Amino acid sequence: MKEKNNENFPRNAIEAQGMLIKAFYKKFGKEALPIIKGICKKQGRSLGLKIKKKLPDNCLSTVATAFYKSYNPDEINVVELSDSVFQIQGTKCPFGLENTSRELCEAVMEIDAEYFRTAVSEDIKLAIKKTVAAGDKYCDTIYTLER
């Protein structure tokens, strides 16, 4: 006889990381945000260094193309892609942060911000226009290279 298990298991390592982040945030609240942000920044730097070695150049368009190709194309929309601006919209958070908080999204998005700063330039700025973490229907993020 098979045992039924109603636990919500992560489908991948990113979802598992998101579950851990949400549990940590739930237990410690806003005090956890600097810790989450700091660790996510380190993760982004590590990922940025790795991708920088694999790509033929460090132009924003090249790095952004490698970045968005790792996502399910049914869940994202690339609005703009050039060597100065990358705007992407997504309907699902890979970390499962939907309906948590904008501030938690901002801390976790330090992964992506540092990824682009490391792989492209320290002059990359990230603007989070919308986020499913705050209850928006989709995320809308813009990376701008300011020179």
pLDDT in tens, 4-43: 565 789 999 999 999 999 999 999 999 999 999 999 999 9
pLDDT in tens, 67-125: 999 899 999 999 999 999 999 999 999 999 999 999 999 999 999 999 999 999 999 99
> Does 3.30.1380.20 match the CATH number of domain 13-145?
yes
DSSP string, 37-75: HHHHHHHHHHHHHHHHHHSS---HHHHHHHHHTTS-TTS
Cα separation of 82 and 141, whole Å?
14
pTM comes to: 0.91
Residue ranges per structural domain of the chain: 13-145
Please give, one letter per residue, the 3-state secondary structure of 109-144: CHHHHHHHHHHCCCCEEEEEEECHHHCCCCEEEEEE
